[in-house]
Amino acid sequence: MADDSSPLVGLVMGSNSDWPTMKAAAAALDEFGIPFEADVVSAHRMAEEMIDYGRTAHDRGLRVIIAGAGGAAHLPGMLASVTPLPVIGVPVALRHLDGMDSLLSIVQMPAGVPVATVSIGGARNAGLLAVRTLASGDGDLAARLREQLVEFAADLSAQAHAKGA
């Protein structure tokens, strides 16, 4: 459906002030060679464009969406409501409440519309979860990613051992 260079993951955030947090997702995708697109898509400042983004995501070849937002964080859940793709939500901590508002606004979705929520500020894990999702299927890409994930886990473990030595 998508050639090797067309984006497979849509990485969106409610405000460009979320980028210092969200760029760790981009870095994780880069490490695994996953083509992605990154954009500001505000649920509240551009509601219709946001809906359009979600509605068309699949037909444009995206296979996973990562959405970061803070406070009353509506972006991940709203996107999930208009796409059949898996949507990964990243709670971004704002000035008050240390991200607890962001977490609850993202994770406590009603039955029917899931958001795959990661930890507060956990953009790197959002990227890695996108990789796992892409690796869970059939085909060459999935096979390559699975191998990379196994290596990745071995590296993590080796680093942990090295620190412990």
Query: 100 to 159, contacts with its own copies by CB under 8 A?
Result: 100-101, 103-122, 124-126, 128-129, 132-139, 142, 146, 149-150, 152-153, 156-157, 159
For residue 33, the minimal CB distance to its own copies (Å) is 16
Contacting its own copies within 59-98 (CB under 8 A): 63-64, 70-74, 77-78, 80-82, 84-86, 88, 93-98
- C-beta of 68: minimal distance to its own copies in Å? 13
Q: From the CB of 20, what's the least distance to its own copies, in Å?
A: 13
Q: State yes or no: residue 22 binds its own copies (CB under 8 A).
A: no
Specify the residue, 35 or 81, whose C-beta has the smaller distance to its own copies. 81
Q: Which residues contact 143 (CB under 8 A, 6 or more apart)?
A: none
Q: How many residues bind its own copies (CB under 8 A)?
A: 89
Q: Which of residues 26-55 bind its own copies (CB under 8 A)?
A: 39-49, 51
Asked whether 59 and 82 are in contact (CB, 8 A), the reply is: no
125/22 Cα distance (integer angstroms)? 10
State the angle between helix axes of 139-164 and 123-135 in degrees (0 to 180), rounded to the nearest 10: 140
Residue number with CB closer to its own copies (26 or 128):
128
